[in-house]
Amino acid sequence: MESIDYASVKRKIESEQCNIHKEHPKFEKTIDGFSISACCDKFRTKMKKKTETIMAEEIKTAIESMLKNTFR
């Protein structure tokens, strides 16, 4: 089975910067999914939503790759 590229997700999230504090968030993969540490709640909420979108794309890519390999 194809796996999700958490390193790619981490790079995309940690490259973002808070408009107010000019800080970068920290992305960590956990047993339950992921966690994001940020300088303020507003930025953390924004990054959480962005991470969910990125993860959905990564999962879609992994599933498509898995199905493509299955039906060869």
Residue 50 lies in a domain: yes
Residue 19 lies in a domain: yes
Residue 58 lies in a domain: yes
Residue 43 lies in a domain: yes
Residue 26 lies in a domain: yes
The pLDDT score that the predictor gives to residue 1 is 40
Residue 1 lies in a domain: no
The pLDDT score that the predictor gives to residue 52 is 93
- Our count of domains for the chain comes to 1
Contacts of 4 (CB under 8 A, 6+ apart): 55, 58, 59, 62
Question: Which range of residues forms the domain containing residue 36?
Answer: 6-70
- List beta partners, residue 68: none
Residue 54 lies in a domain: yes
In tens, the pLDDT along 10-55 reads: 999 999 999 999 999 999 999 988 899 999 999 999 999 999 999 9
Residue 11 lies in a domain: yes
